[in-house]
Structure 1
Amino acid sequence: MKAAGRSVRARLRDRLAASDPGLLRLTAGLRTVGAVALTLAVLAPAGSDITHLVAGAMAAMVATFSIRERRRDAQAVTLAVGLPVALVSVSLGAVLSARVVVGDVFFVVLIFCAVYGRRFGDRGTALGLIGFQVYFLSLFVGASASGLPELWAALTVAFACSALVRFAVVPVTPTGTLARLRQAFRARLGRLVSAYLALLDAGPDEVDKALEDVREGNARLHETALMIQSRLEEGTPDESSARLVQRRIADAEIAAERLGLLLLSARSAERADTLTLHLPGAPAPEVGRLPGPDESTAVLRRDLLALRALVVRAGPGGTGVAQLRNRLLGYRDEENLPAATPAVRDVFRAVGETARAVMGLRVALEGPQDESDDSPATARSREELDAEDAAIDAGEEEEPAERRKGLQRPTTRAAAQVAVGSTLAIAGGELLSTDRWYWAVLTCWIVFINTASTGEILVKGYRRLLGTVFGVVAGIVLAGLVGPHTWTAFALVLVLIFTMFYTAPLSYTLMSFFVTAMLGLLYTLLHTYSWEVLVLRVEETALGAACGVVAAALVLPVRTDRRTDELLVTVLERLAEVTEAAVGQLSGGPAGDLLDKARRLDQALGDLRSATQPLTHPVTPLRARRTNARYVVALLETCAYHARSLAATAELLPTHPSIAADPRLRGAAGRTVRNIVTIADRVADEDVTAPVGTGPSIASLLGGDGTTRYGRVTDRVLRHLERLDEAVVGLARPLGVPVTAPDR
């Protein structure tokens, strides 16, 4: 019974880790709810009235979510500086509330400064948020100069409670966050292997659903890998350890994706395209039963189950786990491969490579493992991993990014845009209501947060308005149910705050829904609730979103096309950089910092994916444009996968006797790099007319002298180069770049 209970707890823990990597959303929700609850617990016995309870709760929420720095000492400094900023802001809000014109002008100046402060990093962003949100708080509770001492006390208690919850009740350290993210990576890798099992057994009518689950699993695994990479510097003791973890995460991700591609190819009538794993909604290739005897299918199903057990099981695991590992790693040395077609045997080899990557991941995350039950194949894999670990060094320093100046600086441009939009929102909001006009300003402010183009602002404004409309309905229902019961209302407010922060990274519409429902309860507590107030909330929200869009379109506009083109050029430049460096090293050139180059490529691709959301949103009327944007992003993800694989293989050169430099590669792959640069130049400058070139396959360019590839270059390197070359040529058509073939 105890073992069964532990098994259930382990499954629940893995499920939670997979759904919330690093428990970042859970931590944010618990911290905010804890700070608000503790603030109420301190203020209520002290005799604070409802207005000051609401003000303290809102201040605790602001003090908690505004601070995003990762180091605890930096968080403490920002929190300490944030308190006087909050006190000054609430004081000015109370004093200027009776001076309409002066108050409105100051509010616009405050908004400009708060957005401009983002250029100073996380601390500038946090202090700007605190200043703006606390000024808004003073308007919301109707602060006056005579009531300032009580408000100061409520804010001081709120900041103190926020600090206590942050550093004592729900402490979070970079090391702990990274450990939970690594657990999430393993949990999501286990889920991806489960998706492969479903793909193996899927019938003709089920394969599309199984393939969609595989796509989602790959995307979530890659998302977790990027989250780990962004926290390695703070969460590891030294740079060498950070690079080791980064290398093992990359190896596991590449091996898992390759396993899925080979499995799909084995079930297909023809070779499956890598693009199939990255393009949402792409039809699955025609599939049938796995070719070969049924015994090989049963063995493959057994080995995928064993691989999943190796992934998700923590700790030493005992003799049983060692036997599973030894059997799977034997496939790397061609041991015990079942009688089957070459495509199916490739899947078994991929299972062995994935098991090897999982073993390397366990060594990097958990330290040395028990080697007493190792088979010769496992011992050889350990020797390879040890040699790779010894070869990892500090690498090169990252080049500083180019900085824009003046109005071209994103923070300056956004500050000017939001100031103009807020001015319009104040003017329009005053016409709708002289008491609630600040809701329009809040919406205008929010739609500019984490957005960089007019299209992104439009989509965010639409989502906020949609969430607000449904939230008004929920607020009406909750306010009717709560009635005069104050503490019941506060309890529901805490629940809504938790759900608001827990769902914020998943859906901005859901977050807006919970915010609006919570505001309905706060209005009930302040005895200002009415149907008209909530309807006015919708009107002010729509007005604020419209003002934000107008300001973004007219004041120093950044069109979505321009934004996506800039990011596309960056992705192509980094793709060319990774490819050229990897091929250069595979050709015998000097070793370079390939892992960091691949990480910068992934980051650039993530930025592009976010920027294309206005183009790929379901409500966009430009269907052909949406399809084109999705296709381009999927092709780039395919290119990035092959470039990462080449980089990972190139880094094996010093330690693997089966992979040696081949000088012919540089010339054979030169066409691919030139094509990438050509496409980047064409996107950056429409006057460029140079075409993308095609020609013989990469393998044929290496020459047909019959020289064995063993000890020169592996077939896998050739496959990645050829697929990358095909994907780059495929990019030319949707981007309008001419393609020419060489003369016969």
Structure 2
Amino acid sequence: MMPAHARDPSYWWDRFIASDPALVRLKMGLRAMLGLSLGLAAIAGLGTLLHQSISVALVGVMMGMMGAINVQDPHPREQRVTLLWAIPISIAAVGVAALSAPSLVVSAIVFLGVIFLAIAAQRFGPRGVGLGMIGFMLFFLSLFFHAPVAQLPWVLASVAVGGCVAYAVRFWLVRDRPEASVRRAFASFRRSLALLMVDIGEVLDVPDEQRRLALLRRAARQVNEAALAVEKEIENADPEKLIHGFRQAELREYLLELELTAERIVFGIYRVLEAGPLSPEKRQSLVAELSVLRRQLRDTGAARAQPVPPWGANSDGSAAASTEPAFTALEGSLSYLRELIFRTPSQSRAAAPVSTEAAPVLELEAPASVGSAAPLHPSTRQAIQATVAGALAILAGHAVSSTRWFWAVIASFVIFNRATTRGDILLRAWHRILGTVIGVLAGIFLATVVRGHRDLEFLLIFVCVFLGFYLIQVSYAWMVFWFTALLAVLYSLLGLYSPELLYLRVWETLVGAGIGAVVAVVLLPARTGVGVKRAATEALLSVASFLEAAATLPGGEVLKRVREMDGKLREVRDAARPLTDRLLLSDRQALRLVHALGTLAFFVKQLAPACVRLPAGEERIRRLEMLLAENARSVAASFSVAGAPMPDALDAALQSVRESLAQAREGEARGLPRVLHWLERIDAALLEVYASRGVFLARRKLA
């Protein structure tokens, strides 16, 4: 039976808004579509004035699209510099391709050199990635469109025009507005909280504990991803500008409080359901409260106009405290979320007193032994892999087709682009093949339907470009699907369409992606388990850094450390994705390690606001934090040291502080029991990470 919310249009609108914080995907799709369409219009108009054919200048049209979407530097000034560099690099790539094209041997050798440089450039960060990709694609497109040497000046001029169009699209038509992006991202975060209320209501009807836990973890992860999206936009905004009435530091703190409260609600729901099924009355009351909170999160003004008694209230509106501890904690979290929804900047907590002593900067340095022992830089290693795969793809692709061999080469190249481990490369190869096969079927259908309708064919090309880049962050397979469909429509428009040509693309893709996958496994492989170890080590060092800083750094700095830890946890999930996101036979040990680190991060984040409120110089808590930081570093080191002992639990130290709190006079220990509670949880979570790490490493050695 379909859930009630599935028939609610507002639910799907919330899903749409939450799926694209700050409209990053929408802007990428628009930039690609506008870069292509405006580049085509500009070059067609210039070609008419100069009496030049547009067909040989299509590489310039593609420059308008590629330049608009492949510049991913974090700041606008850096983006402008990268795009300005892209124009001469593209001109050089097209010129070299046109000059080498008459000789298959020469063009193949040069192509391999371009592949090596494009991948090796990734070591220089976002600028290297962007320029490498643009240079490679312009070289490939020059071969694809057969740019003739006789008309090389016109082709190169079209590339320069395409670069100017890309600049206009990127920085004038669809430019980044940091403050507006923060507002949109924060609105998306609120929608993700509203969706969390729906997800929790759905979990109430799930009898299986494992599935329930998986759903709750997914819901909490979506909230965390939305919060990280806001943080990313905050970094680029003017710290003096007001966003929703909050300054940057205030908004960061408010955001974290909302996220932590949402995570406590998720944890509370799990604890309540773990104790047994809800009675019909309690379930009905909880569902009603979740529904009200969802409305308040979606529209604060409307919700404020219709106040309702807090969940668990009696009929007269007075509070009815639950006798069950789990329900009591859940009630408190739900009530606090209601309070946060309507909080204004003037209601933000006063800054807690902090030490005025300068605190040392704590670096997150992983042990040198973690990771690959190979002396090669990871980008150089991948460049060697991609070049060897490209050489084999040229030979095999030419054996399949002497005119379309470059399809195999590009298939072997793209699976190495922005991939770091063997698992990443195999996953991208699978997405490339899947997207191509399904895209060919869709392309045959579309080309058959729209053939002969030129206006419709043009429109469909732009739609495919938009959807390909709009969905690329959802899945690489989606981009491949839409661009394969686009190719079918483009061939139809040019009068070159035939199903056999699309079938040939499938075979060339299978050859190229297959060769790339084999090379990734055989030649200088970077094992996925090594990447997970490295990411887990850095996450644990981030936890240690937070614990060491919590008692000495100002509150805003503590919150930044929390976000650093969130970023490291995301890197763990990304590194483990080839092991955990399989359709079949997911690696349960890798899942256990990821979940253990996620639980640890949850407890540390809950500790953050409590630590910020502590009085300065609270030595009992500071000592516990330093001991836990040492344990976190020990667990981190255990990923690279065989037979590393399990760190000692802090039961005795925790018990000592607990006894001193019991003897303290009323008011002296305010806030300390809460901090102590989360420190106990962190201690237990570190031991679970150690246990998970042991099983994971044993499995990796056998694999």
Instruction: List alignment gaps of at least 5 residues for structure 1.
Output: 1-7, 270-285, 369-381, 655-659, 739-744
Match of 2:328 in 1: 345
Q: 1:118 to 1:393 in 2, by over 3 A?
A: farther
Distance 1:668 1:398 in 2: 18
Amino acid across the alignment from 2:217: R
Match of 2:599 in 1: 638
Alignment of 1:679 with 2:644, yes or no, is: no
Alignment check: 8 A CA contact 2:311 2:331 kept: no
Alignment of 1:313 with 2:293, yes or no, is: no
Which stretch shows the higher mean deviation, 388-397 or 535-544? Answer: 388-397
Match of 1:722 in 2: 680
Distance 1:395 1:670 in 2: 14
Match of 2:134 among 123, 126, 130: 130
| Aligned pairs for 1:424-435 within 5 A | 424-435=392-403
Distance 2:258 2:484 in 1: 42
Alignment check: 8 A CA contact 1:195 1:210 kept: no
Deviation at 1:439, TM superposition (A): 1.3
Match of 2:700 in 1: none
| Aligned pairs for 1:225-624 within 5 A | 225-237=227-239, 241-269=247-275, 286-289=276-279, 294=281, 301-313=287-299, 320=305, 336-343=318-325, 344-360=327-343, 363=345, 382=347, 385-387=349-351, 399=363, 407-582=375-550, 585=551, 593-619=557-583
Distance 1:214 1:449 in 2: 33
Which stretch shows the higher mean deviation, 299-308 or 484-493? Answer: 299-308
Instruction: List alignment gaps of at least 5 residues for structure 2.
Output: 1-7, 697-703
Alignment check: 8 A CA contact 1:479 1:520 kept: yes
Alignment check: 8 A CA contact 1:453 1:563 kept: yes
Which stretch shows the higher mean deviation, 512-521 or 65-74? Answer: 65-74
Alignment check: 8 A CA contact 2:57 2:154 kept: no
Alignment of 1:628 with 2:551, yes or no, is: no
Secondary structure at the aligned position of 2:694 is classed as coil
Q: 1:393 to 1:118 in 2, by over 3 A?
A: farther
Could you list the per-position Cα deviations for residues 300-351 of structure 1 after superposition, in whole angstroms to 9, with x for gaps in the alignment? 555444433443325x669627x66xx76999xxx94314324323222212
Match of 2:219 in 1: 217
Q: 1:224 to 1:423 in 2, by over 3 A?
A: same
Deviation at 1:256, TM superposition (A): 0.9
Match of 2:110 in 1: 106
Amino acid across the alignment from 1:722: E
Alignment of 1:700 with 2:655, yes or no, is: yes
Q: 1:299 to 1:549 in 2, by over 3 A?
A: closer
Deviation at 1:504, TM superposition (A): 0.7
Q: How high is the sequence identity, in percent, across the aligned residues? A: 29
Deviation at 1:402, TM superposition (A): 8.2
Alignment check: 8 A CA contact 1:70 1:174 kept: no
Alignment check: 8 A CA contact 1:195 1:217 kept: yes
Could you list the per-position Cα deviations for residues 135-178 of structure 1 after superposition, in whole angstroms to 9, with x for gaps in the alignment? 11111111110132342343333333323333333232222222
Alignment of 1:141 with 2:96, yes or no, is: no
Q: 1:703 to 1:223 in 2, by over 3 A?
A: closer
Alignment check: 8 A CA contact 1:679 1:737 kept: no
Alignment check: 8 A CA contact 1:116 1:411 kept: yes
| Aligned pairs for 1:157-196 within 5 A | 157-196=161-200
Q: 1:21 to 1:697 in 2, by over 3 A?
A: farther
Match of 1:77 in 2: 81
Which stretch shows the higher mean deviation, 494-503 or 8-17? Answer: 8-17
Alignment of 1:68 with 2:72, yes or no, is: yes
Could you list the per-position Cα deviations for residues 155-209 of structure 1 after superposition, in whole angstroms to 9, with x for gaps in the alignment? 333333323333333232222222211111111112112333444xx34659887
Secondary structure at the aligned position of 1:684 is classed as coil
Could you list the per-position Cα deviations for residues 582-629 of structure 1 after superposition, in whole angstroms to 9, with x for gaps in the alignment? 4xx2xxx675832222222211111111111121232465x5xx1111
Secondary structure at the aligned position of 1:425 is classed as helix
Could you list the per-position Cα deviations for residues 412-447 of structure 1 after superposition, in whole angstroms to 9, with x for gaps in the alignment? 222222222222222222222221111122122211
Deviation at 1:62, TM superposition (A): 1.0
Amino acid across the alignment from 1:682: S
Which stretch shows the higher mean deviation, 48-57 or 717-726? Answer: 48-57
Could you list the per-position Cα deviations for residues 347-366 of structure 1 after superposition, in whole angstroms to 9, with x for gaps in the alignment? 22212322344345x53xxx
RMSD over aligned CA atoms reads 3.6
Amino acid across the alignment from 1:289: S
Alignment check: 8 A CA contact 2:60 2:156 kept: no
Alignment check: 8 A CA contact 2:352 2:614 kept: no
Alignment check: 8 A CA contact 2:312 2:321 kept: no
Distance 2:356 2:144 in 1: 56
Q: 1:425 to 1:31 in 2, by over 3 A?
A: same
Give TM-score scaled by structure 2 length: 0.85
Distance 1:619 1:301 in 2: 33
Distance 2:136 2:685 in 1: 47
Alignment of 1:116 with 2:84, yes or no, is: no
Deviation at 1:397, TM superposition (A): 6.0
Q: 1:37 to 1:426 in 2, by over 3 A?
A: same
Deviation at 1:730, TM superposition (A): 2.2
Q: 1:685 to 1:400 in 2, by over 3 A?
A: closer
Give TM-score scaled by structure 1 length: 0.81
Distance 1:211 1:310 in 2: 26
